Structure 1
Amino acid sequence: MFEEIVSGSKDLPLGGTVVRVAILYIALIMATRIMRERQVGILSGHNYLVAAGIVSLAAVRMVNPKSSLIEVLVIIFTYATVNALTSYIDIKYPRLMDRIAVPLVLKGQVIKKNLDATHITLDNLLAQLRLKEAGNLTEVEEVYLEPTGKINVMKKPAASPPTKSQMNIAANPVVFPEVVIYDGRVQEASLKRAGYDRRWLEGRVKAVYPEKTATDVFLGIIETDGSLYLSSGEEAVFRA
Structure 2
Amino acid sequence: MPTWIEVTLRTFAAVAVLFVLTRLLGKRQVSQLSLFEYITGITIGSIAAFVSLEADETWFRGLISLIVWSAVSLGIEFLQLKSKKARDMLDGKAAVLIQHGKVLENNMKKERITSDELLELLRMKDVFNISQVEAAIMDTSGELNVLLKKEYQPLTPSDIKLPVTEEKIPMTIIMDGKVLEDSLRKVGLNVNWLNAELEHLKLSTNEIFLAQVDSQNQLYVDRYEDHIQQH
Taking structure 1 as the reference length, the TM-score comes to: 0.82
Q: How does 1:49-88 map to 2 (within 5 A)?
A: 49-66=39-56, 68-88=58-78
Q: Secondary structure at the match of 2:159?
A: coil
In the alignment, the residues of structure 2 paired with residue 235 and residue 108 of structure 1 have an alpha-carbon distance, to the nearest angstrom, of 47
Cα offset, 1:202, TM superposition: 1.7
Query: Is residue 206 of structure 1 aligned with residue 196 of structure 2?
Result: no
Structure 1 pair 23–138 and aligned structure 2 pair: CA distance change class (3 A): same
1:173 aligns with 2:163: no
Q: Segments of 4+ in structure 1 off by > 4 A?
A: 38-41
Residue 16 (str. 1) matches residue 2 (str. 2): no
- The alpha carbon displacement at 1:160 in A equals 1.5
Shift of residue 157, structure 1, vs aligned partner = 0.9
- Of 169-178 and 79-88, more deviation after overlay is shown by 169-178
Match of 1:45 in 2: 35
Q: 1:156 to 1:82 in 2, by over 3 A?
A: same
Q: In 2, Cα distance between the equivalents of 1:152 and 1:69?
A: 45
Within a 5 Å distance, the mapping from 1:15-34 to structure 2 comes to 15-34=5-24
Query: In the alignment, what sits opposite 2:85?
Result: 95
Partner of 1:164: 157
Report the CA distance between 1:63 and its aligned residue.
4.0
Q: How far does residue 35 in structure 1 lie from its aligned partner after superposition?
A: 1.1
* CA RMSD of superposed structures (Å): 2.5
Question: Percent identical across equivalent pairs?
Answer: 25
Shift of 1:42: 3.8
Aligned to 1:227: 218
Deviates more, 1:49-58 or 1:217-226: 217-226
Deviations 1:191-239 (A, max 9, x none): 11122111111222222337x4x4x344342243533234553574433
Residue deviations 1:80-125 (CA, integer Å, cap 9, x gap): 1111110111111132233111111111222122111111111111
Aligned to 1:116: 109
Consecutive unaligned residues of structure 1, counting only runs of 5 or more, are 2-10
Output the CA distance in 2 between the equivalents of 1:232 and 1:101: 45
Query: Residues 64 and 70 of structure 1: is their aligned pair in 2 closer, same or farther, counting only changes over 3 Å?
Result: closer
Alignment correspondent of 2:178? 185
Distance, in Å, in 1 between the alignment partners of 2:195 and 2:57 is: 59
SS at match of 2:160: coil
- Residue 126 (1) aligns with residue 119 (2): yes
Deviates more, 1:76-85 or 1:39-48: 39-48
Q: Residues 125 and 231 of structure 1: is their aligned pair in 2 closer, same or farther, counting only changes over 3 Å? A: closer
Q: Do the aligned residues in 2 keep the contact of 1:32 with 1:39 (CA within 8 Å)?
A: no
Q: Secondary structure at the match of 1:138?
A: helix
1:138 paired to 2:131: yes
Using the TM superposition, give the Cα deviation of residue 12 of structure 1 relative to its aligned residue in structure 2, in angstroms.
Answer: 1.1
TM-score (ref. length: structure 2): 0.85
Q: Determine if contact 1:42/1:48 at 8 Å carries over to the other structure.
A: no
Aligned length: 227
Evaluate the alpha carbon distance shift between residue 81 and residue 23 of structure 1 in structure 2; reply closer, same or farther with a 3 A threshold. Answer: same
Gaps (5+ residues) in structure 2?
none
